[in-house]
Amino acid sequence: MKIIDGKKISIEVLDEIKASVSHRVENNLKIPHLAAVLVGDDGPSQTYVNSKIKACNRVGFQSSLFKFDKSILENELINEIQKININNNIDGFIVQLPLPNEINQENILNEVSPYKDVDGFHPINYGKMALGIDTFLPATPAGIIELIQRCNIDLKSKKCLVIGRSQIVGRPISILLSQNKIFGNATVTVAHSKSDNLKQLCLESDVIISAIGIPEFIKGDMIKLGSTIIDVGISRVDDNSSEKGYKIVGDADFKSVSEKVDYITPVPGGVGPMTIAMLLKNTLKACSLND
């Protein structure tokens, strides 16, 4: 079994980005600038935004945080987004999700300029992604592709099961892996909460990409020998032996599946660290497109 070390690979990607930034500085080119829009005081969202800002500092990017109270109205937030769209100093920005229930997420994401949409969620970029046209890919699927490529895993003609159909992970990764691209050409099946016979689908698959968020859902007896598991799920479970009182686990029951898989991404330390690295890669791309 080979553990795909997402932490190590993400550091390689961040180091490459850092080298590009140094190269840009030497050539008097603009330093990439990523901004984050954060609404409300949701704990995990603040943690995610802080990690993104920390990663910006690590690679030499500029970063900004636009923080708004949870009482902000949808039209006020749209106004703020339009200001960021025309701020020439900012190359790319993200709107940290989830937004408060009173705000329509779709309306907000549609306002982000497609040229600055480094999350790849704007319908124009999402459509380009689906058509196989070069664009900003959503960061988590992009991170999965980067892991697959850097580990030389060839998906051509492999039976690949994507579990989960969310717009940020399951749907895009299923589209990308079926495309006629160097990282793709897999035979993709998408399973979701209404799918029957999930165990059978898993047993028939060479590669399982799981993005459901149910702790340790995939057990060893659900997979075939020699398969690959890309575990996107992140769940907190109680753990009295840890100081925090909890631990982070993925969708796969690591202990039982590790006896059968050829490759697996651990949780934590697999897909998670790649997501931020790919967001920064998209920001570098957005900045370079303005050169």
Task: Kindly state the smallest distance separating residue 111's Cβ from ligand NAD, in Å.
Answer: 21
Task: Kindly state the smallest distance separating residue 108's Cβ from ligand NAD, in Å.
Answer: 17
- Return the residue of 191, 201, 207, 284 that touches ligand NAD, per CB under 6 A: 191
- Cis previous bond, 172, omega within 30: no
Termini Cα distance of the chain:
44
* 42 catalytically annotated: no
> Which candidate in 91, 117, 119, 231 is catalytic?
119
* 18 catalytically annotated: no
> Which candidate in 5, 96, 251, 281 is catalytic?
96
99 makes contact with ligand NAD (CB under 6 A): no
Residues of this chain, 104-143, that bind ligand NAD according to CB under 6 A? 140
Task: Kindly state the smallest distance separating residue 21's Cβ from ligand NAD, in Å.
Answer: 23
Residues of this chain, 194-253, that bind ligand NAD according to CB under 6 A? 195, 198, 211-214, 232-235
By beta-carbon proximity to ligand NAD, the closer residue of 129 and 271 is: 271
* 52 catalytically annotated: yes
Task: Kindly state the smallest distance separating residue 190's Cβ from ligand NAD, in Å.
Answer: 9
Residues of this chain, 261-290, that bind ligand NAD according to CB under 6 A? 271-272, 275
| Distance (Å, whole) CA 177 – CA 169 | 12
**Where does this chain bind ligand NAD (CB under 6 A)?**
140, 163-166, 168-170, 191-193, 195, 198, 211-214, 232-235, 271-272, 275
Q: Which are the catalytic amino acids?
A: 52, 96, 119
